[in-house]
Every structure is written in C-alpha cells, then in structure tokens.
Structure 1
C-alpha cells in the first residue's frame, strides 16, 4: 500500500484521483485545497488529513518524512494549471513521485526546469495522459501502425464542452491561469494525435478567442483540422438542447466511436504508473510544445483544405 497526498482536493477532477488511489489499493493520507468544499473525501478516504493552508500541508508532509514507515510516496496534483509547476516541485522535494493532471506545464522551459528538479531529488513526475489508455485510441494506433500507405490520413477533431457563466469568473476563464481554451481543454487531444500519427510537422492557428479555437495540424501520418469550444452556441443541431458536450473524431471521413470508455481511465493511468509504466516529462514534451506554439501563433487565413467546417459558421 502506497501513501498519497493530494493537492487541489476541491477541484473538478480531484474525485477521479481519489477514486484511483482507493481502487488501486492505496491510501490518501492528506489533502490540501484553499476551498473547504471537499465532502467527497468522506465517501472515499474519510481518514485523510485535510488542510486549507499550503504551509500546514507541507509541514505535515515534512514531519511524516522523518519516519520511513509513515512517509508519503506520492503526491497527486489537481490544482489550477498555473500552480502545477510549483506544486510538482514541492512534491519532488518532499522525496515523492508526483502524478499531475493535464496540462502538465505551459512551456518547454518550465518542463526542463522540472527535469532539473527530478535530477536533484531522484523522484519522478508522471503526467495523466489518459487518452493513451482509451481502447478506441489504442485500436486506431495499431491500425495506423499496420497500414503501409503513402497518403496521410485526413482527420477532423471537434470538441465542444459547454460551460456556463461561472467558467469565465473562475480561474479557468483567466488565460494567465488556465493558459486559454486550446491548452486547458485541448492538450490531451494534441497528445493523442501525436501518440497515433507521429511527430508534428506543421501547426497553424485559424481562430482563437476566450471561448473557442480552431486550426490545422500536420503530423507524419495525418492532416488534422481541429475545433475546440466551450460555447453551447457551437453545438450541432443534432445535440443542441439534448447534450452539453459534443465530441467527434473522423479519420478519412469515418467516425471513430469515442463516446464511451472514459470513466476508468484515471484508475488505469494510476495502475500503469504504479507498475512502472507511467508517462513522464519527456512523454509530455510534444503536447507542451504544441500548445505553446498555438498560444503564441499569429492567426493565419484558412486554406479550404485545412479549414475546419465549423470555422465558417461559429458564433464569434
């Protein structure tokens, strides 16, 4: 049984980490969040200590470190995006391996700094890249690897996840803290595309705003038109008023079944990490580079063969 701490216990994604810790037979020893709305702990790890000040949380972890029988082995990070690097470094310096939500960090330079802290401490950082464990993604990756073809796959990625007015009032609506829509809701899709289709060769942004972004990515084996949005007005008529989320990936015009299979991906990620097969800093480098370029790119006019269909009809 491994002993875990969790940073960001009141966040949306934290219960999936708590569940993964429990379902892999491990123990959540302590948790921290500035928000005390963490009643979910009662149903998963009621014995866990809880702190609303980081200093007290860190001091408690440091005291545990003095006794090898009680020391923490892992720190899970679910805090706001802009705090990931600081919280990862803190966990490493406690002598713990760290499991961090996406996006790991916003820039390659910060990633390389974490690599330095890894070397200083001897501990490891693991990123939750859960789509790499989705069966539909694994099946497509195997298909692409089997097929010997000169022509690149034609891929269309559309992800619309409606968010209410609260979103822009929260840290997620502040690009200094979330790093914008493409990074916050898109980074794991960019990782997935790299995982399946190889290295990125071209990265063009056609549109970006507080609520949505669109562009074109060309990989070794695929040409990808992508569209991401948190605006319910962008939902297709077939789901508008019925579902708040629309997720579609087509490969050469064929829809990939991608609606199910998400529930247990965090638990699978934890199982792989605990078995020594987790995804580390270098695995995350490619998607970190991708979103860094997207955030800094000058908007380009979209060529017809590179333009996502939603680009001409979106609510701006």
Structure 2
C-alpha cells in the first residue's frame, strides 16, 4: 500500500484520481485545495487530512515523515494548469513521484527543466494520457502500424463541450493560466494523434477565439483538420435537438472512430501502469506540449486545409 497526497481535490477531475487511488488499494493521507467543498472525499478517504493552505499541508507532510516515519510515495496533481510545474517540483522535493493531470506543463522549456530535476531527485514524473489506453484508440494505432498505407490518412477531429459563463471567469478562461482552448481541452487529442501518426510537420491556426479554436496539423502520416469549442452554438443541429451538450468525433478516411465510452475507468488503468513503473513520462508528453505552445504562438492564417465547420459556420 502506497501513501498518496492529492493537490486540487475540489476540482472537476479529482474524483477520478480518488477512485484510482482507492481502486488500486492505496491510501490517501492528505489532500489540499483552497476551496473546502470536498465532501466527495467521504466516498473514498474520509480519514485523510485536508488543508486549504499550502503551508499547513507542507508542514503536515514534513511532520508525518519526521515524527511518524510515514513517507509520501506519490503526489497526485489536479490543480490549475499553470500550477502544475510548481507542484511537480514540490512532489520531487518531498521524495515522492508525481502523477500530474494534462497538460503536464504549459511550455516545452518547462519539460526540459523538469527533466533535470527528475534526474537529480531520482523520482519519476508521470502524466495522465488516458486516450493511449482507450481500446478504440489502441485498435486504431494497431491498424495504422500494420496496414502500411500509401499516402497520408485524412482526419477530421471535432470536440465541442459546452461550458457556461462561469468558464470565462475562472482560471480556465485566462490563457496565461490554462493555455487557452486548444491546450485545456485539446492537448490529449494532439498527444493521441502524435502517438499514432508521428511527428508534427505543419501547424496552422484558422480560428482563435476565447471559446473556440480551429486549425490544421500535418503529421508524418496524417492530415488533420481540427475544431474545438466550448460554445454550445457550435453544436451540430442533430445534437442540439437531442438535448446533448457535448459532441466528440474523430473520422479517419471518412470512417468514424467510436471512443465515447470508457473514459471514467481510464484513470484507474493509468494508475495501474504507473504503479508498475510503466507510466507516461516527460518524453511522452513533450511533443503535445510543443504542439499546443505553437498553436498559441502562431498567427491565424488561411494556409492548410480547413475543418468543415469553418466552411459551414465561419465563412
């Protein structure tokens, strides 16, 4: 049984980490969040100590080690994106391995610095790239690896997940803190595409607004037209009439890849791999971090193939 701490326990994604810690038969000894609406802990680790101030949390971890010889093995990080770098460093200083939600960090040079710290500490930095564990995505990778297609695959990626006005008034609405739409809701898709189709060769942005973004990515083996949005008005009409607020689609050579189910279990699968020493690390994450950084940095252009939604809705 390993000892865990969890940072950001009041956040949206934290329950998946709580469940993963419990399902892998480990123990949460402490949790931190500036917000105290954390009743979800009662369903998993009601006896874990909880703090709303980092200084008291950090002091508690130190006292457990010195007074009770209780060593922290892992720190799970579910805090806002811009804090990941700092909290990963804290975990390694405490002699623990880090398990960090995506995006691991916001900039590729942060990865370089963390590689040095990881080497010095002897501890491991892991990130959650759960799409790599999804059966449908694994099947697609196996297909691509074995069929030796001539020419590149044609891919359309569409992800619309409706968010209310609160989004823009939270840290997620500040690009300096979240990385913007493409980073916050798209980074795991870019990771998945790079994992399957190779390195990015071209990267163009066609639309960049506070609630939506679109562009074109060309990988070694694929041409990808992508569209991401948190605006419910972006939803296709057939989705709206069903009362649904989310639309997720990936088509490869006009063939739809079904991967809508099974997401909630993939964090537990991620933890199982991490506990066996097979987690996804800094090198795995760096390519997608570079991609989203470049999407933020490049100017909007008309170059590259456009997503069909741009032709239909944003002429």
Tell me the residue number matched to 2:257.
Answer: 256
What's the TM-score, normalizing by structure 1? 0.97
Partner Cα distance (1:248, 1:285) in 2: 25
1:25 aligned counterpart, secondary structure: coil
1:105-139 per-residue CA deviation (whole Å, 9 max, x = no partner) reads: 11111111111211221111001001000000000
Asked if residue 175 in structure 1 is aligned to residue 178 in structure 2, the reply is no
Cα displacement (A) at 1:66: 2.7
Partner Cα distance (2:57, 2:132) in 1: 32
Cα displacement (A) at 1:281: 0.4
Cα displacement (A) at 1:69: 4.7
Tell me the residue number matched to 1:280.
Answer: 281
Partner Cα distance (1:121, 1:66) in 2: 19
Structure 2: gaps of 5 or more residues: none
Tell me the residue number matched to 2:306.
Answer: 307
Structure 1 stretches of at least 4 aligned residues deviating more than 6 Å after TM superposition: none
Partner Cα distance (2:313, 2:296) in 1: 20
Structure 1: gaps of 5 or more residues: none
Q: Is the 8 A contact 1:153 1:251 kept in 2?
A: yes
Greater Cα offset, 227-236 or 69-78: 69-78
Tell me the residue number matched to 1:246.
Answer: 247
1:228 aligned counterpart, secondary structure: strand
Tell me the residue number matched to 1:83.
Answer: 83
2:238 aligned counterpart, secondary structure: coil
Greater Cα offset, 8-17 or 235-244: 235-244
Partner Cα distance (1:233, 1:75) in 2: 39
Partner Cα distance (2:112, 2:67) in 1: 31
Cα displacement (A) at 1:314: 3.5
Judged with a 3 Å threshold, the aligned counterparts in structure 2 of structure 1 residues 230 and 38 are, in CA distance, closer, same or farther, namely: same
What's the TM-score, normalizing by structure 2? 0.97
Q: Is the 8 A contact 1:154 1:252 kept in 2?
A: yes
Tell me the residue number matched to 1:110.
Answer: 110
Tell me the residue number matched to 2:156.
Answer: 156
Cα displacement (A) at 1:312: 2.7
Matches within 5 A, 1:140-219: 140-219=140-219
Q: Is the 8 A contact 1:65 1:94 kept in 2?
A: no
Q: Is the 8 A contact 1:233 1:315 kept in 2?
A: no
Tell me the residue number matched to 1:129.
Answer: 129
Tell me the residue number matched to 1:221.
Answer: 221
1:63-107 per-residue CA deviation (whole Å, 9 max, x = no partner) reads: 223368511100000000110000110011000000000011111
1:222-261 per-residue CA deviation (whole Å, 9 max, x = no partner) reads: 1100000000000001111411100000000011112211
Cα displacement (A) at 1:174: 1.0
Partner Cα distance (1:70, 1:87) in 2: 20
Aligned residues: 314
Tell me the residue number matched to 1:66.
Answer: 66
Partner Cα distance (1:290, 1:102) in 2: 14
Q: Is the 8 A contact 1:173 1:210 kept in 2?
A: yes
CA RMSD between the two structures: 1.3
Tell me the residue number matched to 1:13.
Answer: 13
Tell me the residue number matched to 1:47.
Answer: 47
